[in-house]
């Protein structure tokens, strides 16, 4: 059974960089069948796709966040990570990591982690 677990600070100051890591167990980020993605959900609102990465390092980002987002993968640790720069209160959300078969849909999700942007 594939499991994903997000980790990182729950509080980030405005204008700082949000950094999260997703650790994958029961599966490998090096599998060629899957992309690995970040999605976020502001409190009480809907889901927003942030971006995804392939094990080779190839990435695709939501154009609305592209200028501030970096997703990377560490195959040796079976992890992938998210960095979102210049955060504001609008970036306060639950951040989820997920597995994406063929880059098409999300079949396994982490439990999510709430990141609050506040001074």
Binding site for another protein (CB under 8 A): 37, 46-49, 52, 60-64, 96, 100, 103-107, 109-112
Secondary structure in 3-state letters for 12-74 = ECCCCCEEEEEEEECCCCCCCCEEEEEEEECCCCCCEEEEEECCCCCEEECCCCCCCEEEEEE
The minimum distance between CB 66 and another protein, in angstroms, equals 9
Minimum distance of another protein from residue 6's CB (angstroms)? 10
- Report, in Å, the least distance between residue 63 CB and another protein: 6
């Amino acid at each position: 059974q594939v499991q994903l677990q997000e980790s990182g600070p729950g509080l980030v100051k405005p204008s700082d960089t949000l950094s999260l890591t997703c650790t994958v167990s029961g599966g490998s980020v090096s599998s060629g069948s899957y992309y690995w993605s970040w999605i976020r959900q502001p409190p009480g609102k809907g889901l927003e796709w942030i971006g995804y990465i392939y094990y080779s390092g190839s990435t695709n980002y939501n154009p609305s966040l592209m200028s501030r987002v970096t997703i990377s993968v560490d195959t040796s640790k079976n992890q992938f990570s998210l960095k979102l720069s210049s955060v504001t209160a609008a970036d306060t959300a639950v951040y989820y990591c997920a597995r994406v078969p063929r880059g098409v849909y999300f079949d396994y999700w982490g439990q999510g982690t709430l990141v609050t942007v506040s001074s």
